[in-house]
A and B are shown apart, each in its own frame.
Chain A
Amino acid sequence: MATIEERFDAIVVGAGPAGNAAAYTMAKAGLKVLQLERGEYPGSKNVQGAILYADALEKIIPDFREDAPLERHVIEQRIWMMDDTSHTGMHYRSEDFNEEKPNRYTIIRAQFDRWFNAKVREAGGIVLCETTVTELVKDTKGHVIGVLTDRHGGPLLADVVVMAEGVNGLVGQRAGLRDELKPQAVALAVKEMHFLPQEVVESRFNLSGDAGVVIEAMGAVSKGMVGTGFLYTNRESISVGIGCIVEDLAKSGVTPYALLDQFKAHPSIAPLIAGAEVKEYAAHLIPEGGFRSMPAIYGGGWVVAGDAAHLVNSVHREGSNLAMTSGRIAAETIIWLKRRREPCAFDNLAEYRKRLEASFVLKDMRKYQKIPGLLHNNRQLLNLYPRMLSGVAQSWLRVDGKAKRSKEAEIFKAVRKQRGVVGLVADGLRLARAWR
């Protein structure tokens, strides 16, 4: 067992977007950084859809486009409301997204995280893989001074520990810094990697060059649970997956893999992935509880960033950008304290919270704080509205010899029967209030 005697300015737990952002930012500023990752290589335990939002990474590594493993830049977003046989789509495609510095990319996380972590090493950070942090070490006053791992005999010591340990967050949980995840505030997502020749991907989605399409799907595909499906085009593969709130899933008796296979078999999805070779099946939790389920994010000698802090904007399907931004801001706060020769004490690290509040991260988390509760209490609507839309669209489009006026009357009658005018207005108001 190796013993590391030296003391670090910071120890970073985890090598996902939050951990890599924090470790890179601190190492680049000259701090002595030790980063610990339990996987064989950084990325080997990490799962995401995945979409990379350029802005968050640009603020950390401005020229990332030169060598980062990017799949396709997104030029088209489709939002599909699905019933069993149809989808009603809202599509936005723009040539403006074919720009010199595109805004969103599809990525493959195991490859991307490995690249990001190599940047940490280049910047002078020390990275130890295959090392699981087992607990935090505190002094007699409860101030965090380091960590214990499953590979080192003694504690590894640092002035501050950045917990970027991901959604499960066992290290912080077991140190009593935050509670266990609640089944109603976390979603389980499963996904598969479907490989197809590059030209097949491009012809099926009407693409050329490095351009890509992403689809987010809701409705019947989640079988009455709160959940969404997705399909993202990579260079020569398609990521297809579906996620549902864990509490709903446990009650439903539906297996996650059956849910995924049914999504894949939907007549709107099946032709897009037909003939593909599946090379991986992955599962991962997403903290969907929003602002109201966020734990404390700083204390004496510690800060939390990314999924471990529940920083996910489920409405906009954003998470990795909140992770990178919170990791960067945590690092900048620590650098700022170091330069002022101030300790990473509870009162001083309150600056991290302050800076995060001033950024889009906590502004967005606050904005949507009522949405998880709204969905929790109205999950049946996720099924009803896509069905209603499909019914309306189908009656409207079928040419069947009926006069248009009687057709309209039929449509309104069907809508009133399914939800009622009062219900419709109330749903609209509830959504508007939660959205505001």
Chain B
Amino acid sequence: MSTQGTRIEEKLYQNRYVVDAGKPHIKVRDHDIPSPALKSLVTACPASCYSLNEQGRVEIVADGCMECGTCRVVCAATGEVEWNYPRGGYGVLFKFG
């Protein structure tokens, strides 16, 4: 029962998305040092949208986002995540849900 085998890219590959190019619906506020809450998103996000860059800042690429809202809830207290629904018709499109 190792976690080594988990490849999130393969999971997300199954899903359908209509990406609103150039208009990400989630943004991380500019920061020098991320709060523990923001850092926790690197593991807590179910689509692995968040990563830690070389400067130690948290970045987001929201293309695989399933619009669950976890990141917004986790960072509500720190205000580091700006979260909106994608424009109508864009974003994840569940075939089964």
* Chain B 57-79 interface residues, beta-carbon cutoff 8 Å to A: 66-70, 72-74, 76
Q: Mark A253-283, 1 if CB is under 8 A from B, else 0.
A: 1111110011001100000000000111111
Q: Which of A149, A246, A250, A258 contacts B3 (CB 8 A)?
A: A258
Nearest A-chain residue to B44, judged by Cβ? A250
Residue B48, interface by CB 8 Å: yes
Contacts of A250 in B (CB 8 A): 37, 40-41, 44, 74
* Chain B 3-48 interface residues, beta-carbon cutoff 8 Å to A: 3, 5-6, 8, 11-12, 14-15, 18, 37, 40-41, 43-48
Q: Which of B43, B66, B88 contacts A38 (CB 8 A)?
A: B88
User: Quick check: B95 and A132 within 8 Å, CB to CB?
Assistant: no
Contacts of A192 in B (CB 8 A): 11
A44 touching B93 in the complex, CB below 8 Å, given contacts A132-B85, A254-B43: yes
CA distance A149 to B88 in the complex (A): 9
Q: Mark A315-331, 1 if CB is under 8 A from B, else 0.
A: 00000000000000000
Q: Which of B11, B37, B69, B96 contacts A108 (CB 8 A)?
A: B96
Q: Which of A47, A50, A285 contacts B70 (CB 8 A)?
A: A285
* Chain A 236-255 interface residues, beta-carbon cutoff 8 Å to B: 237, 246, 249-255
User: Quick check: B3 and A261 within 8 Å, CB to CB?
Assistant: yes
Q: Mark A90-122, 1 if CB is under 8 A from B, else 0.
A: 000000000000000000111101000000000
User: Quick check: B88 and A150 within 8 Å, CB to CB?
Assistant: yes
Residue A68, interface by CB 8 Å: no
Closest Cβ of chain B to A32, distance in Å, is 22
CA distance A39 to B17 in the complex (A): 11
Overall SS of chain B's interface:
loop
CA distance A186 to B76 in the complex (A): 13
User: Quick check: A257 and B8 within 8 Å, CB to CB?
Assistant: yes
Q: Which of B3, B48, B73, B91 contacts A262 (CB 8 A)?
A: B3
User: Quick check: A38 and B70 within 8 Å, CB to CB?
Assistant: no
Assign chain B's interface to a size class: 35 or more
Contacts of B47 in A (CB 8 A): 283
Contacts of A12 in B (CB 8 A): none
User: Quick check: A84 and B94 within 8 Å, CB to CB?
Assistant: no
User: Quick check: B96 and A111 within 8 Å, CB to CB?
Assistant: yes
Closest Cβ of chain A to B73, distance in Å, is 5
Q: Mark A39-67, 1 if CB is under 8 A from B, else 0.
A: 11001111110100000000000000000
CA distance A151 to B46 in the complex (A): 30
User: Quick check: B88 and A188 within 8 Å, CB to CB?
Assistant: no
Contacts of B44 in A (CB 8 A): 188, 246, 249-250, 255-256
Residue A168, interface by CB 8 Å: yes
Query: Which one of B1, B5, B37 has the highest number of Cβ atoms from chain A below 10 Å of its Cβ?
Result: B1
User: Quick check: A132 and B67 within 8 Å, CB to CB?
Assistant: no
User: Quick check: A110 and B97 within 8 Å, CB to CB?
Assistant: yes
User: Quick check: B73 and A186 within 8 Å, CB to CB?
Assistant: yes
Query: Which one of A43, A149, A282 has the highest number of Cβ atoms from chain B below 10 Å of its Cβ?
Result: A282
Nearest A-chain residue to B64, judged by Cβ? A281
Residue A393, interface by CB 8 Å: no
Closest Cβ of chain B to A190, distance in Å, is 5
CA distance A128 to B97 in the complex (A): 20
User: Quick check: B11 and A257 within 8 Å, CB to CB?
Assistant: yes
Contacts of A256 in B (CB 8 A): 44-46
Residue A131, interface by CB 8 Å: yes
Nearest A-chain residue to B47, judged by Cβ? A283
Contacts of B43 in A (CB 8 A): 252-255
Residue A180, interface by CB 8 Å: yes
Query: Which one of A181, A183, A253, A278 has the highest number of Cβ atoms from chain B below 10 Å of its Cβ?
Result: A183
User: Quick check: A283 and B46 within 8 Å, CB to CB?
Assistant: yes
CA distance A178 to B95 in the complex (A): 31
User: Quick check: A261 and B5 within 8 Å, CB to CB?
Assistant: yes
User: Quick check: A281 and B14 within 8 Å, CB to CB?
Assistant: yes
Contacts of B12 in A (CB 8 A): 281
Closest Cβ of chain A to B76, distance in Å, is 4
> Which A residues are within 8 Å of any B CB, using their own CB?
38-40, 43-48, 50, 84, 108-111, 113, 129-132, 149-151, 167-168, 170, 180-183, 186, 188, 190, 192-193, 237, 246, 249-258, 261-262, 265-266, 278-285
> Which B residues are within 8 Å of any A CB, using their own CB?
1, 3, 5-6, 8, 11-12, 14-15, 18, 37, 40-41, 43-48, 66-70, 72-74, 76, 83-89, 91-97
Mind listing 22 A-B residue pairs with CB under 8 Å?
A: A39-B89, A44-B93, A45-B67, A50-B97, A130-B89, A132-B85, A132-B86, A132-B87, A132-B88, A170-B83, A180-B76, A183-B76, A190-B46, A193-B96, A246-B74, A249-B70, A250-B74, A255-B44, A256-B44, A278-B14, A283-B68, A284-B68
In the complex, besides A110-B94, A170-B84, A180-B76, 15 extra interface pairs with C-beta distance below 8 angstroms are: A38-B89, A44-B93, A45-B97, A110-B96, A111-B96, A150-B88, A168-B67, A183-B74, A246-B44, A250-B41, A253-B40, A253-B43, A254-B43, A262-B1, A262-B3
